[in-house]
Amino acid sequence: MITLKEIQVAAKTIAGFVHETPLINSHSLSAMTGAEVYIKAENLQKTGSFKVRGAFNKLSSLHDGVVIAASMGNHAQGVAYAASQLKMKAKIVMPLNAPIVKQEATKGYGADVMLYGDTFLEALEHALSQKEYTFIHAFDDEKVIAGQGTIGLEVLKVLADTDVILVPVGGGGLISGIAVAVKSMSPRTEIVGVQTTSAISAYTSFCKGAIEEYVTYCTLADGIAVGKVGSITFEIMKQHVDDMLTVSEDSIAMSILLFMERKKMVVEGAGAVPLAALIENTERFKGKKVVLIVSGGNIDFTLIDRIIHKGLAKSGRIGVFVVTVDDIPGKLHILTGIIAGHRGNILAIEHDRLSADLSVSETRVIFTVEVRGRDHLDRITDEMRQRGFAVREEDTKRKVPSG
């Protein structure tokens, strides 16, 4: 099991290759949650993710040769970049559903990319079968873990009295390294891991005390969509991690949106889960100095519009409701007038005249409206009901495709 000394050596090894990323105090997120919130901005790291730390520490220990790795994207970019800087060659195996933006970025760093399998585990097994290359594990490797642990050193260097560190967890490399570093220097600091409900191997394994493998589902947090926590990382987690939490996909989307709006930061789904956990557990962390490990910023920009809509819906700033009216001139004008009178912003209007439960003289009008919050939406729909219209609110999830 790795030690603080190994992490300190790793910090010296990688110092010339990576950024010491800023620890940013967020007044807006602090006011929103009641905690004193700090952001460890690994989304500003080289390659856009913390993974480059572990990659450099591992590759620096090797001699010349070709390395191979399996990754959903961030580890791929970290290994590819580290190999290019250390004059080594890298082959990367990625699952077929790996985000295209991460595939192309990995190629851009000079790696040979191979797409294989539908899941990370399938890609991992294929990479492991290529015996002629030196395999670089994404998380279950002591050199990699030590490299990721350098983040913990940097946090305590700036904020020695940190109460809680919230860390995204996939295979466990990041939280394992941070936990060893932080618990060695500040045993009182709580280390809390966060997973999405769409990928719960580490969470369930931690709760049960034994490694459990789970199928991962489609998630905005693709960077932590790992079906099985690592064996090395799990042993470290059992010893040094205080707790594990899970967060919903809707909360992740809202957190990505909050980073954009409040901090002007581009954060990927995996990097947003610590904020999602803080928002879902505000009472638990109120009054504490909380560090959010924002692990990366390599978001798939083709999903941004859906993430924004999902985030707005989760925060109550998009409402969807249905009004059935007589299909005669002027009725729609009345409805839109009510919305305009309350300063709501109509995003979409759909008409349904064909449903079996409608008479030939009726139409169903489906409104998607941007509002300031739940109370604002209620004022709009209440006036419609007062003026004789039958209004039914819809689940916004129906209107906003998931990532």
Per-residue pLDDT of the chain (403 residues; tens, 9 = 90+): 899 999 999 999 999 999 999 999 999 999 999 999 999 999 999 999 999 999 999 999 997 779 999 987 899 999 999 999 999 999 999 989 887 878 888 999 999 999 999 887 788 899 999 999 999 999 999 999 999 999 999 999 999 999 999 999 999 999 999 999 999 999 999 999 999 999 999 999 999 999 999 888 889 998 898 889 999 999 999 999 999 999 999 999 999 999 998 999 999 999 999 999 999 999 999 999 999 999 999 988 777 888 887 778 777 888 899 999 988 889 999 999 999 999 999 999 999 888 888 888 889 999 999 999 889 999 999 999 999 998 998 764 433 333 3
Start and end residues for every CATH 3.40.50.1100 domain found in the chain: 4-49+142-301, 51-136
Which residues 6+ apart lie within 8 Å of 382 measured at CB?
Answer: none
pTM of the model: 0.83
Q: Kindly state the helix (H) or strand (E) to which residue 102 belongs, with its residue range.
A: helix 100-108
CB atoms closer than 10 angstroms to residue 370:
15
CATH architecture of the domain covering 4-49+142-301:
3-Layer(aba) Sandwich (3.40)
Q: What is the DSSP letter of 49?
A: B
pLDDT score for 124: 86
Residues listed for the chain? 403
Beta bridge partners, 322, equal 366, 392
pLDDT score for 217: 86
Structure tokens at 64: 């010349």
pLDDT score for 398: 38
State whether CATH 3.40.50.410 applies to domain 51-136. no
pLDDT score for 395: 61
What one-letter code names the amino acid at 204?
Answer: T
CB 294 within 8 A of CB 246: no
Q: Please give the CATH topology (third level) of the domain spanning 316-399.
A: Alpha-Beta Plaits (3.30.70)
Start and end residues for every CATH 3.30.70.260 domain found in the chain: 316-399
CB 346 within 8 A of CB 369: yes
d(CA 31, CA 37): 9
pLDDT score for 163: 98
- With CA atoms as reference, report the closest residue to 145 among 179, 193, 177, 167: 177
- With CA atoms as reference, report the closest residue to 24 among 155, 185, 142: 155
d(CA 13, CA 137): 19
d(CA 213, CA 228): 5
